[in-house]
Amino acid sequence: MKVVLQNLTKTFPSRNKKVHADVVAVNNFDFEIADGELIGLLGPSGCGKSTALNLICGLLAPTSGKIFFGDDDVTALPPENRGVGLVFQNYALYPHLTVQQNILFPLQNVKGADRLSKADMLARAREVAGLVQIDELMERRPSELSGGQQQRVAIARALVKTPRILLLDEPLSNLDARLRLQTREELRRIQRETQITTVFVTHDQEEAMSISDTIVVMRSGVVEQVGKPQEVYDSPVNLFVAKFLGTPPINVFKGKVIGETLFIGDDAVLTVKGVTNREVYVGIRPEGFTLADSDAVSDNLLRCKLNRVEVMGRDVSVVSTHAASESETIRAIIDAESAPSFNAAEVGFTVKPAKVFLFDSRTEKRVFFEV
Amino acid sequence: MDKRNNKAWLYLLPAFLFLGFFMIYPLIDVFVYSFEEGYNSASQTFFGVGTYNYSYVLHDPYFLQAVKNTFILVIITVPVSTGVALLISAGLNSIKPLKQMFQTIYFLPYVTNTLAVGLVFMILFKKTAYSDGLVNLLINMFGGGSVDFIDGPYWAKMFVLCFYTIWVVMPFKVLILTSALASVNQQYYDAAKVDGTSKLRTFTKITLPMISPMLFYLIITAFIGAFKAYSDAVALFGTDLNAAEMNTIVGYIYDMLYGNSGGYPSYASAAAIILLVLVLTITCINSLISKKHIYY
Amino acid sequence: MTNQADYYKLQSAANARRTVGKVIIYALLAFWALMVLFPFYWMVLSSVKSYGAYNSEFIPKFFTLSPTLENYVSAFTAVPLGTYFMNTLIFTVATTVIMLFVTVFAAFAFARLNFRGKNIAFILLLALMMIPNELVIVTNFVTITSLDMRNTFLGLILPSVTSVFYIYLLKENLAQIPDELYYAAKVDGTSDLKYLFRVMLPICKPTIITIVILKVIECWNSFVWPRLITDDASYFLVSNGIQEIRENGFGRENIPAMMAAVVVISVPLIALFLLFRKKVMAGVARGGTKG
């Protein structure tokens, strides 16, 4: 089922009595989710991603704009008629019901001709329980399950009435780190098997990048960028997106383009064609550095004070400082084999142009250049 | 041992003096009284020891009337007041405008003097020579005949008693249930909504089980409270409840102690112990049932 | 799948249901509000009708065009309502204050101090919580009578002081205060008493307020014990006073004057409630749920 959001806006009345302006939680959303896609709504907390999810499922009504499921306009439809499955952040399993009763619950709501027979309901419940691999737990109560198991039950409950869209609100945030990795794969598998269009909300960029077909990066109610995870990572449209994606985070410097040469501090690091004489922010991904030979004399070197070198196995992480850096330290990830001598006071880097992004110092929008 | 040892008992002394003198000693004494036959409160003498007091009380028509009244009161007011309170609380929780105003109004009976407001109920229901009273006026409007609710037929009087009792106990129940309902996590309702659960089913399958611990607590206290009914009856029918056929078990105990037929602490003690046994039994049954229905 | 027309139908049906539901809910709530408020309205209304006007209305009127305060005058002159009022005030204040001291010290000992027999004493206390008042009132009646304390304030107050539940409530609250605070105070040389009054009680102020509120309401409405222990009208509390007024009151069945007395008796607690609305309701809810 394709989902289309058209100029979707949601405002809330301000809670602060002194400020009468409404709070815009979702501002003019306009994008399309292809059938069978797994899409991640990503952004820092308070950016409106949960509001967006609630708009799609119908728990909230939009202030303006439209929502389509396929060709159907569902904007004003109550949630129960939309055919959506929703998994809550805390799972919202009914504590007084067993796992099986929890999964059966949505089916028992159906009235009239569509209502399944008791046997069919049970069969259906077993089927989804099998899909999420909780067959063994059917008679337990939620309080007797681990976090990961509870989450599977929640997914099973959302899937049992074969929804057109599956919505997940921070599905992994209540799990510990190890379980999170495991469940991530699990989610991906379930989604592939069911081919159901899935929207999930997260503040964890790694999580979003690793399983989404498409990610939507949001900030304060505005969609900043939509695209395949790798595309967004490789080509962020603004400084916010560049900073939000990637671990370790991108290194940001204050820079200047003089002529067509990019300066960070006093270091000329790159020739940028098509950009002339302007103040910029320079973002360099940690993997965008190459260590220059310590005694080599090169024009295009970023000279940094070496802090320490952290060994991470295959790679090493070089931590250094630079006067023009926006953050306290710069982190470069380089091959362990080309690691610098640990006792050097200064290191020089050359940068890979594809890993360097320029942003306007005022608008923070991307400034494109050619090498 | 500890140096503070003696000091601690000093802090406890007032409480223990009061408790010992007015609770523990009387507690033991009431059993003693209840088995002392022919106790005379003036001379503080008695003839013998036995179960005569119990047998007297259990054969006293006034006591049997009181037991009957109390049971009717319990059976009617506990379910009705709990049900109505549940309805009102659910209503309260589903609205926003005026909610606070309603809550404030509903709480008013809690802070009023039962005896004083009982008088108002009495004049609303009473039929006198010069006026049939407001309630009868309403009944007449709908084509019924006037009934004297205060000095008239048994069931009319019982109706007023139940009505007033419910009026008096409602604030506490509404208060507790409203906060219990509000404490149910909104996510459960959202989940139910997304699953297309009807309002009624959401209420019976989700809300009720979630607030069941509170509900059972309220029912148990309601039972105990109704078994101890007394002031409400006095407020409506005056102090001579036996004459009005509206006495309650507690009323019987007090009448035995003091008043027109008073001066028999032994009978009063026996009646009090019978009341205790009744209340304990009902409470036990209640908690057994509640254990079966509360899962967490 | 369903077409658009069906969706609109579904949607308007859902809207209609919501509206109807809201109307029903408000109607129900308004109905009960009326049930609660009406007796109050009737009591105030009747109290400002003159004796003649009231008794001439075979069909009671829902308003009066000639309100009078004469009933309030006779409520204070024809019957000793002022005395009842003062008695209740003295009784309420004295009982609450003594109860507070007894409760605070006992709760402090149980929550903070260590002494031999503490557990047994506390279990005994909990057991006492289940004893209904009706059981001990018989002996207390005999005791007070034989001590010749009928028709005295002492006889009224003493058996009404102890409330096991309040000791329990306060003890639980005091026990939640971290031990570190106590040790810190000890290091600074603070005495137990000073620590109790300077640190613990301020922290537990909400509970103290709860207890005071519950006790004041209880005292103001208490009827059974005063009825047993006083037969001299100069020691009557308002509950007994109103009963006395009802039975032998104004020399004749003077309902407007009776209602004036009822209004006077009801006003203090209602005023107190409206003033501290949130605290009272929170207090009753707390006291209720922990019992």
Instruction: Note the pLDDT tens digit of each residue in B76-86.
Output: 999 999 999 99
φ, ψ of residue B48 to 5 degrees: the values are -165, -175
Neighbouring chains of A at 3+ CB pairs under 8 Å are B, C
One-letter amino acid of B71: F
Cα gap C94→C37, rounded to integer Å: 32
Strands B36-37 and B48-49: antiparallel
Q: C232 and chain B: CB distance < 8 Å anywhere?
A: no
Q: In chain A, whose CA is at the least distance from the CA of B185?
A: A92
Q: Do C1 and A73 touch (CB under 8 A)?
A: no
Cα gap C103→C196, rounded to integer Å: 13
pLDDT level of residue A180 (50, 70, 90 thresholds): confident
Delimit the domains of chain C by residue range. 1-38, 77-290
Q: In chain A, whose CA is at the least distance from the CA of C3?
A: A72
Q: In chain C, whose CA is at the least distance from the CA of B224?
A: C132
Cα gap C138→B267, rounded to integer Å: 10
**4-63 in chain C: CB under 8 A from chain A:** 4, 7-8, 10-11, 14
| Residues of A with Cβ-Cβ distance to C8 under 8 angstroms | 76
| Residues of A with Cβ-Cβ distance to C11 under 8 angstroms | 76-78
Residues A121-152 have pLDDT tens digits of: 999 999 999 988 888 999 999 989 988 899 89
A3-244 sits in which CATH class?
A: alpha beta
Delimit the domains of chain B by residue range. 41-116+169-293
Q: A86 and chain B: CB distance < 8 Å anywhere?
A: yes
Q: C239 and chain B: CB distance < 8 Å anywhere?
A: yes
φ, ψ of residue A238 to 5 degrees: the values are -150, 175
Q: Do A59 and B190 touch (CB under 8 A)?
A: yes
CATH number (2.40.50.100, 3.10.580.10, 3.30.70.360, 2.30.30.40) of A251-367 reads: 2.40.50.100
Query: Which sign does the torsion angle of CA B49, B54, B57, B60 carry?
Result: negative
Tokens 């949607």 — which residue?
A: C11
Residues A71-100 have pLDDT tens digits of: 888 888 888 888 888 998 888 898 888 999
Radius of gyration in angstroms for the set of CA atoms belonging to chain C, rounded to a whole number: 26
When the pLDDT of each residue in chain B is averaged and rounded to a whole number, the result is 87
Q: Which of A70, A73, A81 minimises the CB distance to C10?
A: A81
Output the pLDDT for position C288: 65
| Residues of C with Cβ-Cβ distance to A77 under 8 angstroms | 7, 10-11
| Residues of C with Cβ-Cβ distance to A76 under 8 angstroms | 7-8, 11
Token reading at B263:
């001066």
Give the homologous superfamily in CATH for domain C77-290: MetI-like (1.10.3720.10)
CATH number (1.10.3720.10, 3.30.420.140, 1.10.357.10, 3.40.50.720) of B41-116+169-293 reads: 1.10.3720.10
Output the pLDDT for position C1: 43
| Residues of C with Cβ-Cβ distance to B18 under 8 angstroms | 102, 158, 161-162
Residues B150-198 have pLDDT tens digits of: 888 999 999 999 999 999 999 999 999 999 999 998 889 988 988 888 8
Q: Which of C1, C10, C14 minimises the CB distance to A70?
A: C1
Calculate mean pLDDT across residues B13-23: 89
Q: Is A53:A26 a contact under the CB 8 Å cutoff?
A: no
Whose CA is closest to B184, among B207, B212, B204? B207
Q: C108 and chain B: CB distance < 8 Å anywhere?
A: yes
Residue A355: is its pLDDT beyond 60? yes
Delimit the domains of chain A by residue range. 3-244, 251-367
Cα gap B148→C75, rounded to integer Å: 27
Question: Could you tell me what percent of chain A has a pLDDT over 70?
Answer: 95
When the pLDDT of each residue in chain A is averaged and rounded to a whole number, the result is 87
Q: Is A318:A334 a contact under the CB 8 Å cutoff?
A: yes
Q: In chain A, whose CA is at the least distance from the CA of B193?
A: A80
Output the pLDDT for position C291: 36
Radius of gyration in angstroms for the set of CA atoms belonging to chain B, rounded to a whole number: 24
Calculate mean pLDDT across residues B80-107: 92
Burial letters for A323-336: b for 16+ Cβ neighbours within 10 Å, e otherwise?
A: ebbeeeebbbbbee
Residues A181-233 have pLDDT tens digits of: 888 888 889 899 889 999 999 998 888 888 899 999 999 889 999 999 999 99
How much of chain A is in helix, strand and coil states, percent to nearest 5? 30, 35, 35
Query: Which sign does the torsion angle of CA A234, A239, A244, A248 carry?
Result: positive
Show the DSSP H helices in chain C as ranges.
4-47, 51-56, 70-77, 81-112, 118-128, 133-146, 153-161, 164-175, 179-187, 192-195, 201-203, 205-221, 224-229, 238-248, 255-275, 277-290
| Residues of B with Cβ-Cβ distance to A94 under 8 angstroms | 188, 205-206, 209
Q: What angle do CA C242, C209, B98 make, to 5 degrees?
A: 75
Output the pLDDT for position C289: 54
**pTM for the whole thing?**
0.82
Q: In chain A, whose CA is at the least distance from the CA of C18?
A: A78
Q: Do B224 and C42 touch (CB under 8 A)?
A: no
| Residues of A with Cβ-Cβ distance to C3 under 8 angstroms | 72
Q: Is A114:A106 a contact under the CB 8 Å cutoff?
A: no
Whose CA is closest to A239, among A226, A229, A251, A257? A251
Q: What angle do CA C59, C63, C67 make, to 5 degrees?
A: 115
Residue B64: is its pLDDT beyond 50? yes
Residue A298: is its pLDDT beyond 80? no
Strands A197-202 and A38-42: parallel
Tokens 């303006």 — which residue?
A: A64
Q: Do B190 and A106 touch (CB under 8 A)?
A: no
pLDDT level of residue A311 (50, 70, 90 thresholds): confident
Q: A57 and chain B: CB distance < 8 Å anywhere?
A: yes
Cα gap B27→A30, rounded to integer Å: 76
| Three-state secondary-structure class, residue A345 | coil
Question: Could you tell me what percent of chain C has a pLDDT over 90?
Answer: 20
Q: Among A73-87, A288-302, B203-217, C76-90, which is the least confidently predicted range?
A: A288-302
Mean pLDDT of successive 10-residue stretches along chain C, which has 291 residues:
64 82 92 94 90 78 82 85 91 94 92 85 85 84 87 90 87 88 83 86 88 89 88 88 81 81 90 88 73 36
Residue A357: is its pLDDT beyond 90? yes
Output the pLDDT for position A285: 93
| Residues of A with Cβ-Cβ distance to B190 under 8 angstroms | 59, 86, 88, 92
Residues C192-208 have pLDDT tens digits of: 888 888 888 898 988 89
Q: Do A80 and B196 touch (CB under 8 A)?
A: yes
Q: In chain C, whose CA is at the least distance from the CA of B93?
A: C25
Q: A92 and chain B: CB distance < 8 Å anywhere?
A: yes
